[in-house]
Amino acid sequence: MGVTFEKKRKIFHLFTKHFSYYIHVNKYNYLIHLYSGKYLNDISKERVSERYMERYAFLNDEKKETMDEDYYFSFVASQFEVAPFGKGDKRNSPFIIEGENNTPITNFLFQSYKIIKGPYSKNKYPLPHVKFLSSDVTTLIITLKDEYKEVYLELYYEISEKFDCLIRFSKIINKSSENIKVKKLSSFELDLPSSNYNILALKGTWGNDTEVEMIPLNHSLTKISDNHGGRGFYFNPSVALVSNEASLDSGEVYGFSSIYSSDFSYEFKVDEIDQTRIIGGYNEETFEYLLKENEDIYSFETIIVYSNKGINGMSQLMHNLIRKRILPSTKSIQKDFILLNSWEGFYFDFDTDKIISLVDEAKKCDINLVVIDDGWFKNRNTDTTSLGDWEVDNKKIDLKKVINYAKNLGMKIGLWVEPEMISPISDLFKEHPEYALIPEDYKHPTLFRHQLVLDLTNPKVIDYIFNKISKIFDEYDISYVKWDFNRYLTESYSSFLSTERKKETNYRFILGTYELLNRFNKKYPNILLETCSAGGGRFDLGMLFYSPQIWASDETDITLRASIQYSKNIFYPLRSIGAHVSNRKIGSIQDKACLAFFGTFGYELDITKLNEEDKKQIKFFNSLFKDFHHVVEDGDYYAIFSPFKTNYVAWNVVSKNKKECLVYFMNYKKEQTKSRFLKIKGLAPNKYYFNSLTSDIYKGSFYMNVGLNLSCPMDPYFSALFVLKEIDDIRATIFRKTKQVDGGKRDKLM
Ligand code: GLA
């Protein structure tokens, strides 16, 4: 049981083997956060809560001052689980509700609790979520009621021993007869007694989609958020709080990842006595929700993990959970495909013959899926037209012929779509201009990439667009779909929604997107789905709930790609990161394949133009994919060199049984001879491993403590992928005696 309640002292303890989370219900029914961190089997509510600040005082029913005797409870500095709004705590608050009297004072007080074995039932939960099995978790539900309004707050805590994590979300229910505006709704608040941390955030822009940014905490409010309504490169919804003493492999790290694809926010506020408050939830900038009598609304879920094994420990906890309980299991067909996408090879310039010649060449190179990217539908020869008109452009491509041709070779065909969009130059816009997301009487909506967004707050639009794209997948035998989203929301106040609900547009839009994705998966369980948003602009767990992989970036040049993948690896399992070998300038096919191998792996170039040597390399990597990609898909990930701190980028992935390990290394700029060792992580210290790069055998402890000697001069972008494979003691001893001559003449490594 991962939750206990100590009745006398009113203390909840949520725990796993490594993690404890303590909450206390104080005598005024405030929920006080006592502790979260390394597992702890003893707690004092007094000693933990003491803050020598102004004591809580108020006018009682007799209009007399009541001063709190318990000096340790102070609005100024107590650690809350749900800080009130509009009262004495002037730090940030997680919930703000406003009644018809326009008074947003929000003061939720403890009422009752429930502990259930297994997860909270998600039958009515409208958003993507962790799909726990009943043996994975224990759930604590705490119900609070606002001091004056008949409005209730339910806090949910799903604590999982198995995955060593805590899932947080909440719900507000209006049981009063007045209309309530929910102005701020969060998944969690976490108050920590120190400010000794940096925020690790992933920021980015198109083409440099994710870069690690370490932001020191300070006394001003730091907000890591997005307000684009989806396709937000600016900040990713996964962040970590890294203690100042922590490194990649040691020290305290709290990881947070929100299962949401629209406007989120994490607030980090250091208070006047250097404590830190973290609040995660909908971004209040673009969120307001009307609750009529008996209506309710949920927050999205946020995963919280705690590691005292540094950033890598946090990454492994996230990866395990996401792989097993978020990615769609029905779509586990990823491993069956090695893909070749037409975009960077042809852009819009293709026809039946060109695609067929691509299929032919792909077959020769052991590639089994060819994806026809943008440009296959009605008049779509540039990005200025036709979104919404999802009908094959028969003049340009004979899709049936292509599919049959591929089928005869034992191959499959995939297609690109962008269902949430509408081009002003399209039949759809002519027929249904009201389907576009434009406010009433608003004449000059903003265009991005020449396109508008469909109003997915309107169920009719969802039906229309789903039927339209379904016709394609019903008629043509398609095995893979790339689902794109190339612009963000502007002027997003839907003309379909009533006046009082206009500010719900961004939230309802993403519900519409999820509805579309859900319908698609239900109807086409055998089509592999990859989402995309102008590259990796919507890379989050909301999308990964529906699609097992996301195209990580439109930047395929290894120089930026390596740091983009390194950054994404911190939170997201490598198998979810769409990565292709392209024709960009920097590096050879081999250099590019080394990097793409640590994502979904595929190609995106005109392979008919490659020379024989490059095609040989492609075949080699495709056979490596069959033999070893399972390590990337399911193994434990360790970052070794950060591209943001060193001239290199390196990581390794070890299979769960520690028998196989894949290592990636690249250097950025030319370097001369220099003492440089690549220390591998996570091997079994006493087992022998064969190293495919140097063809010799040493024990795990050698690779981990001495490392691989890379002290030679290096050209820029030198890239390596090598395999360490466990080998039994007898074979290792024979090999070392006969072949491995320590002290003899040795070849230079590179
Ligand atoms: C986006 C995607 C690309 C490609 C184009 C097609 O930019 O990120 O990979 O599919 O759209 O228009």
Ligand 1 atom closest to 416 (CA): 10
Nearest CA to ligand 1 atom 11: 534
Residues 225, 349 within the same domain: no
**CB-based burial of residue 446 (10 Å sphere; 0-12 exposed, 13-18 middle, 19+ buried)?**
exposed
Name residue, tokens 């074979």. Answer: 731
Mutate to test the pocket of ligand 1, among 209, 421, 486 (most ligand atoms within 8 A of CB): 486
* 648 in the same domain as 621: no
| 3-state per-residue secondary structure call for 643-694 | CCCCCEEEEEEECCCCCEEEEEEEECCCECCCCCEECCCCCCCCCEEEECCC
- Mean pLDDT of the chain, nearest integer: 95
Within 13 Å of residue 2, how many CA atoms lie on the same side as its CB? 31
What is the pLDDT at residue 746? 60
Residue 427 has what pLDDT?
A: 98
Q: Is 455 labeled as catalytic in the residue annotation?
A: no
Pairing of strands 108-117, 96-98: unpaired
* Torsion sign over Cα 229, 235, 241, 247: positive
CA–centroid distance for 287 within its chain? 21
CA distance 355 to 359: 6
Q: What's the gap in Å between 227 CA and the centre of ligand 1?
A: 22
User: Helix, strand or coil for residue 440?
Assistant: coil
* Exposure of 234 in the CB half-sphere (CA atoms within 13 A): 14
Could you write out the DSSP letters of every residue in 135-168? TTEEEEEEEEEESSSSEEEEEEEEEETTTTEEEE
Distance 418 CA to ligand 1 centre (A): 9
Distance between CA atoms of residues 655 and 343, nearest Å: 33
Directed axis angle between helix 352-364 and helix 399-408, to 10°? 20
Residue 45: what pLDDT?
86
Out of 226, 455, 484, 636, pick the active-site residue: 484
Q: Angle 505-523/459-475 helices, nearest 10 degrees?
A: 30
Number of domains forming the structure of the chain: 3
User: Distance between CA 202 and CA 221 in Å, rounded?
Assistant: 18
70 with 19, same domain: the answer is: yes
CATH of the domain at 685: 2.60.40.1180
pLDDT for the residue 749: 57
Residue 158 lies in a domain: yes
Residue 519 maps to a domain: no
DSSP-assigned states of every residue in 591-643: HHHHHHTTSS-EEES-GGG--HHHHHHHHHHHHHHHHHHHHHHHSEEEEEE-T
Handedness of CA 226, 230, 233, 238 (dihedral sign): positive
Q: Is 648 in the same domain as 664?
A: yes
Q: Is 534 in the pocket of ligand 1 (CB under 6 A)?
A: yes
245 near 225, Cβ under 8 Å? no
Residue recorded with tokens 């107590």: 78
| Token reading at 210 | 């994710």
Does the CB atom of residue 484 touch ligand 1 within 6 A?
yes
Give the ligand 1 atom nearest the CA of 347.
6
- How wide is the angle at C-alpha 715 spanned by C-alphas 711 and 718, nearest 5°? 85
Taking the CB of residue 623, how many other CB atoms lie within 10 A of it?
A: 11
| Lookup: tokens for 707 | 């490392």
Beta strand ranges found along 250-298 (DSSP E): 253-258, 264-270, 276-282, 289-291, 296-298
Distances in Å between the Cα of 385 and the Cα atoms of 420, 427, 429, 454, 691 are: 14, 10, 10, 14, 53
- Of all protein residues, whose CA lies closest to atom 7 belonging to ligand 1? 534
Q: Does residue 75 share a domain with residue 26?
A: yes
**Residue 581, Ramachandran bin (φ over 0: left; ψ between -120 and 50: alpha; else beta):** beta
Which amino acid type is present at position 134? Answer: S
- The answer to the question of residue 461 being in a domain is no
532 C-beta closer than 6 A to ligand 1: yes
Same domain membership, residue 389 and residue 285: no
Our measurement of the distance from residue 115's CA atom to the centroid of its chain's CA atoms, rounded to an integer in Å, reads 29
Residue with tokens 């007080």: 109
- 554, 555, 603, best to mutate for ligand 1 pocket (most atoms within 8 Å of CB): 554
Output phi, psi for 351, to 5 deg. -150, -175
Q: Does any domain span residue 451? A: no
Query: Distance, CA 535 to ligand 1 centroid (Å)?
Result: 7
Please tell me whether residue 177 adopts helix, strand or coil conformation: coil
- Average pLDDT per run of 10 along the chain, which is 750 residues long? 94 98 95 97 88 87 86 88 96 97 97 98 96 98 97 98 98 98 98 97 96 97 96 93 98 98 98 97 98 98 98 98 92 82 98 98 98 97 98 98 98 98 98 97 96 98 98 98 97 97 98 98 96 97 97 96 98 98 95 97 97 97 96 97 97 98 96 96 98 93 96 94 95 85 59
Return all residues near 746 (Cβ < 8 A) that are at least 6 apart.
none
What pLDDT does 426 receive?
Answer: 98
Domain that holds residue 682: 638-738
* Residues 612 and 700 occupy one common structural domain: no
- The answer on 207 and 132 residing in a single domain is yes
Cβ–ligand 1 distance for 539 under 6 Å, the answer no
Our mutation pick for probing the ligand 1 site, out of 341, 371, 532, 564, counting the most ligand atoms within 8 A of Cβ, is 532
Same domain as 341, residue 314: no
Q: Is residue 484 flagged as an active site residue?
A: yes
DSSP label at residue 720:
E
Task: Please tell me the predicted confidence (pLDDT) of residue 86.
Answer: 97
Give me the CATH number covering residue 226: 2.70.98.60
Dist CA 262 CA 497 (whole Å): 18
Provide the edge-to-edge strand list for the sheet that holds 222-225: 186-192, 276-282, 264-270, 222-225
Residue 49's pLDDT is 83
Q: Which domain CATH number covers 477?
A: 3.20.20.70
**CA dist 40 to 17, 35, 43, 211, 314, Å?**
9, 9, 8, 35, 19
User: What is the distance between the terminal CA atoms of the chain, rounded to a whole angstrom?
Assistant: 55
**What pLDDT score does 742 carry?**
65
Structure tokens that stand for 202 in this block: 């992933």
Same domain, residue pair 658 and 712? yes
Last residue of a domain, one of 325, 343, 375: 325
Both tokens of residue 263? 């406007």
pLDDT digits (tens, 9 = 90+) for 498-516: 999 999 999 999 999 999 9
Neighbours of 396 (CB within 10 A): 18
Residue 75 belongs to some domain of the structure: yes
Q: Are 510 and 530 in contact (CB under 8 A)?
A: no
Q: Which is it for strands 65-67 and 96-98: parallel, antiparallel or unpaired?
A: unpaired
Domain boundary among 586, 605, 630: 630
Considering 306, 325, 344, which residue would you say is the last residue of a domain?
A: 325
Q: CB of 373 closer than 6 A to ligand 1? A: yes
User: 76 and 143 in one domain?
Assistant: yes
For residue 330, the model assigns a pLDDT of 64
Q: How many CB atoms sit inside 10 A of residue 439's CB?
A: 15
128 within domain boundaries: yes
Enumerate the β-bridge partners of residue 15.
20
Are residue 320 and residue 335 in the same domain, yes or no? no
Strands 165-174 and 302-307: antiparallel
Query: Of 668, 670, 619, whose CA–CA distance to 641 is shortest?
Result: 668
Residue-wise pLDDT tens digits, 342-389 = 999 999 999 999 999 999 999 999 999 999 999 999 999 999 999 999
Quote the ligand 1 centre to 484 CA distance (angstroms).
Answer: 7
Residue 381 within any structural domain of the chain: yes
- Closest alpha carbon to 38 in 236, 254, 242: 254
The contacts of residue 460 (CB under 8 Å, 6+ apart) are: none
Residue 460 falls within a domain, yes or no? Answer: no
Ligand 1 centroid to Cα of residue 342, in Å, is 10
pTM: 0.97
- In the prediction, which pLDDT does 744 show? 58
